[in-house]
Amino acid sequence: MISCKGLTIGDSVHISAVTLPAGCEPTIKDRDFTIATVVAPSGMRSEADAAAAEDEKK
C-alpha cells in the first residue's frame, strides 16, 4: 500500500514507488508511468476559478 501522506495537489505517484507482490510485474516496462495524481476536489477548483476571474476584473 502507498501512503498519500505528504502529497499535495499536483503530485504524482509512479509505478517505481510501488512494491508489487512476489511474482507480479507491471505490463508496461519501458517507462516509470504515473499510477495516481493528486487533484483538487471539484468544489475547490470552482472557488479557485471564481477567485481568478475576480482578480482578472481588477
- Tell the residue number behind the cell numbers 495524481, with chain if given: 37
Say what the pTM is: 0.62
Over 1-55, what HEC string results? CCCCCCCCCCCEEEHHHCCCCCCCCCCCCCCCCEEEECCCCHHHHHHHHHHHHHH
Residue 55 has which C-alpha cell? Answer: 482578480
Question: What tens digit of pLDDT does each residue of 8-44 get?
Answer: 999 999 999 999 999 999 999 999 999 999 998 877 6
Domain extents in the chain: 12-57
